[in-house]
Homo-oligomer: A and B are copies of this chain.
Amino acid sequence: MTTMELTKTSMHDLSAGTFVPMLRSLLQIFDKAIAQAAEKKIDLAALPEARLAPDMYPLTRQVQIACDAAKSATARLMGAEPPRHEDNEKTVDDLKARITKVIAYVESAPVKAFDGAAERTVLFPLIETLVFESNGFEYVRDWALPNFYFHVVTAYDILRHNGVDIGKRDYLHHAAGAHIHPGN
Protein backbone atom coordinates (compact mmCIF):
# COMPACT_ATOMS: atom_id res chain seq x y z
CA MET A 1 0.00 0.00 0.00
CA THR A 2 1.48 3.33 -1.00
CA THR A 3 1.43 6.45 1.12
CA MET A 4 -1.19 8.02 -1.06
CA GLU A 5 -3.57 5.09 -0.95
CA LEU A 6 -3.36 5.03 2.81
CA THR A 7 -4.26 8.70 3.04
CA LYS A 8 -7.15 8.37 0.61
CA THR A 9 -8.81 5.52 2.40
CA SER A 10 -7.87 6.36 5.95
CA MET A 11 -10.99 8.24 7.00
CA HIS A 12 -13.18 5.40 5.76
CA ASP A 13 -10.88 2.84 7.37
CA LEU A 14 -10.94 4.76 10.64
CA SER A 15 -14.68 5.43 10.82
CA ALA A 16 -16.47 2.54 9.11
CA GLY A 17 -13.61 0.27 10.18
CA THR A 18 -14.43 1.08 13.80
CA PHE A 19 -18.21 1.34 13.68
CA VAL A 20 -19.06 -1.86 11.82
CA PRO A 21 -17.00 -4.34 13.89
CA MET A 22 -17.87 -2.68 17.21
CA LEU A 23 -21.59 -2.69 16.34
CA ARG A 24 -21.27 -6.35 15.36
CA SER A 25 -19.69 -7.04 18.76
CA LEU A 26 -22.63 -5.27 20.38
CA LEU A 27 -25.05 -7.48 18.42
CA GLN A 28 -23.23 -10.57 19.66
CA ILE A 29 -23.33 -9.23 23.21
CA PHE A 30 -27.12 -8.90 22.91
CA ASP A 31 -27.27 -12.44 21.54
CA LYS A 32 -25.43 -13.62 24.65
CA ALA A 33 -27.94 -11.76 26.84
CA ILE A 34 -30.80 -13.48 25.01
CA ALA A 35 -29.15 -16.90 25.28
CA GLN A 36 -28.49 -16.43 29.01
CA ALA A 37 -31.92 -15.04 29.87
CA ALA A 38 -33.53 -18.40 30.66
CA GLU A 39 -30.60 -20.05 32.40
CA LYS A 40 -29.50 -17.03 34.48
CA LYS A 41 -33.05 -15.89 35.27
CA ILE A 42 -32.50 -12.50 33.66
CA ASP A 43 -35.75 -10.83 32.62
CA LEU A 44 -34.99 -9.64 29.09
CA ALA A 45 -37.89 -7.18 29.28
CA ALA A 46 -36.14 -5.39 32.17
CA LEU A 47 -32.95 -4.66 30.24
CA PRO A 48 -34.04 -1.86 27.84
CA GLU A 49 -34.95 0.38 30.81
CA ALA A 50 -31.94 -0.61 32.96
CA ARG A 51 -29.51 2.17 33.88
CA LEU A 52 -26.45 2.79 36.06
CA ALA A 53 -27.80 5.89 37.83
CA PRO A 54 -31.33 7.31 38.13
CA ASP A 55 -30.41 10.38 36.09
CA MET A 56 -28.44 8.52 33.42
CA TYR A 57 -29.89 7.26 30.13
CA PRO A 58 -31.20 3.67 30.09
CA LEU A 59 -29.84 0.94 27.82
CA THR A 60 -32.25 1.77 24.98
CA ARG A 61 -31.06 5.37 24.75
CA GLN A 62 -27.40 4.32 25.01
CA VAL A 63 -27.84 2.04 21.99
CA GLN A 64 -29.79 4.67 20.05
CA ILE A 65 -27.05 7.28 20.60
CA ALA A 66 -24.25 4.82 19.73
CA CYS A 67 -26.11 4.05 16.50
CA ASP A 68 -26.67 7.73 15.75
CA ALA A 69 -23.01 8.52 16.39
CA ALA A 70 -21.97 5.96 13.76
CA LYS A 71 -24.67 7.06 11.32
CA SER A 72 -24.02 10.80 11.66
CA ALA A 73 -20.26 10.46 11.39
CA THR A 74 -20.58 8.38 8.24
CA ALA A 75 -22.93 10.91 6.66
CA ARG A 76 -20.96 13.99 7.72
CA LEU A 77 -17.68 12.62 6.39
CA MET A 78 -19.35 12.10 3.00
CA GLY A 79 -21.13 15.45 3.14
CA ALA A 80 -24.45 13.56 3.01
CA GLU A 81 -27.67 13.57 5.02
CA PRO A 82 -27.98 10.66 7.47
CA PRO A 83 -31.12 8.50 7.24
CA ARG A 84 -33.72 9.20 9.95
CA HIS A 85 -34.37 6.40 12.42
CA GLU A 86 -37.23 6.85 14.86
CA ASP A 87 -36.45 6.25 18.52
CA ASN A 88 -39.21 3.75 19.19
CA GLU A 89 -37.34 0.62 20.32
CA LYS A 90 -38.99 -1.28 23.17
CA THR A 91 -37.28 -4.68 23.30
CA VAL A 92 -33.84 -6.19 23.00
CA ASP A 93 -34.85 -7.47 19.56
CA ASP A 94 -35.82 -3.91 18.56
CA LEU A 95 -32.37 -2.71 19.66
CA LYS A 96 -30.72 -5.43 17.62
CA ALA A 97 -32.76 -4.34 14.59
CA ARG A 98 -31.66 -0.71 15.06
CA ILE A 99 -28.00 -1.77 15.20
CA THR A 100 -28.41 -3.95 12.11
CA LYS A 101 -29.95 -1.02 10.19
CA VAL A 102 -26.98 1.21 11.04
CA ILE A 103 -24.43 -1.45 10.10
CA ALA A 104 -26.15 -1.73 6.71
CA TYR A 105 -26.04 2.06 6.24
CA VAL A 106 -22.35 2.34 7.16
CA GLU A 107 -21.49 -0.62 4.94
CA SER A 108 -23.38 0.96 2.02
CA ALA A 109 -21.22 4.12 2.15
CA PRO A 110 -18.89 4.14 -0.87
CA VAL A 111 -15.19 4.35 0.07
CA LYS A 112 -14.72 6.92 -2.72
CA ALA A 113 -17.07 9.36 -0.95
CA PHE A 114 -14.50 9.66 1.88
CA ASP A 115 -11.80 11.11 -0.39
CA GLY A 116 -10.60 14.35 1.18
CA ALA A 117 -12.78 13.82 4.24
CA ALA A 118 -9.87 14.33 6.68
CA GLU A 119 -9.47 17.96 5.58
CA ARG A 120 -13.15 18.71 4.82
CA THR A 121 -14.89 21.06 7.27
CA VAL A 122 -17.49 19.41 9.45
CA LEU A 123 -19.94 21.90 10.96
CA PHE A 124 -23.23 21.18 12.71
CA PRO A 125 -25.49 22.78 15.32
CA LEU A 126 -25.47 21.69 18.95
CA ILE A 127 -27.73 22.92 21.74
CA GLU A 128 -28.82 26.56 21.82
CA THR A 129 -26.75 28.60 19.36
CA LEU A 130 -23.57 26.55 19.70
CA VAL A 131 -22.01 24.87 16.69
CA PHE A 132 -19.34 22.17 16.35
CA GLU A 133 -16.69 22.94 13.75
CA SER A 134 -13.45 21.17 12.84
CA ASN A 135 -11.87 19.25 10.00
CA GLY A 136 -13.02 15.68 9.35
CA PHE A 137 -10.09 14.00 11.06
CA GLU A 138 -10.45 15.96 14.31
CA TYR A 139 -14.21 15.50 14.19
CA VAL A 140 -13.76 11.72 14.12
CA ARG A 141 -11.00 11.67 16.73
CA ASP A 142 -12.42 14.25 19.18
CA TRP A 143 -16.17 13.81 18.77
CA ALA A 144 -17.43 10.82 16.78
CA LEU A 145 -15.18 8.13 18.28
CA PRO A 146 -15.32 9.22 21.95
CA ASN A 147 -19.11 9.61 21.69
CA PHE A 148 -19.55 6.27 19.95
CA TYR A 149 -17.36 4.42 22.45
CA PHE A 150 -19.01 6.16 25.39
CA HIS A 151 -22.41 4.72 24.52
CA VAL A 152 -21.19 1.29 23.36
CA VAL A 153 -19.20 0.78 26.57
CA THR A 154 -21.99 2.13 28.78
CA ALA A 155 -24.42 -0.29 27.08
CA TYR A 156 -21.92 -3.06 27.87
CA ASP A 157 -21.57 -1.83 31.47
CA ILE A 158 -25.36 -1.75 31.96
CA LEU A 159 -25.69 -5.34 30.74
CA ARG A 160 -22.73 -6.46 32.86
CA HIS A 161 -24.13 -4.66 35.91
CA ASN A 162 -27.40 -6.49 35.34
CA GLY A 163 -25.85 -9.93 35.44
CA VAL A 164 -25.25 -10.69 31.77
CA ASP A 165 -22.14 -12.86 31.59
CA ILE A 166 -19.94 -11.06 29.04
CA GLY A 167 -16.27 -10.15 29.00
CA LYS A 168 -13.61 -8.17 27.18
CA ARG A 169 -13.37 -10.97 24.62
CA ASP A 170 -16.92 -10.27 23.50
CA TYR A 171 -16.25 -6.55 23.28
CA LEU A 172 -13.02 -7.07 21.31
CA HIS A 173 -14.42 -9.97 19.32
CA HIS A 174 -13.42 -8.59 15.91
CA ALA A 175 -9.83 -7.87 16.96
CA ALA A 176 -9.49 -11.42 18.24
CA GLY A 177 -10.74 -12.80 14.94
CA ALA A 178 -8.54 -10.62 12.76
CA HIS A 179 -5.28 -10.21 14.65
CA ILE A 180 -4.82 -12.90 17.30
CA HIS A 181 -3.22 -16.24 16.47
CA PRO A 182 -1.02 -18.87 18.12
CA GLY A 183 2.64 -17.80 18.35
CA ASN A 184 5.59 -20.01 17.47
Binds B, one of A76-84, A95-103, A176-184: A176-184
- Judge whether B178 and A142 touch: CB under 8 Å: yes
Pairwise interchain contact B179-A145, C-beta atoms closer than 8 A:
no
Q: Is A53 interfacial (CB 8 A cutoff)? A: yes
A89 within 8 A of B: no
Interface size class of A (residues with CB under 8 A): 35 or more
A22 to B146, CA, bound (A): 9
A157 CB contact (under 8 Å) in B1, B154, B183: B154
Contact A56 to B142, CB < 8 A, known contacts A131-B180, A132-B179: no
A43 at the interface (CB under 8 A from B): no
Find out whether the CB atom of A181 lies under 8 angstroms from the CB atom of B130.
Answer: yes
**In the assembly, what is the distance between CA of A126 and CA of B113, in Å?**
37
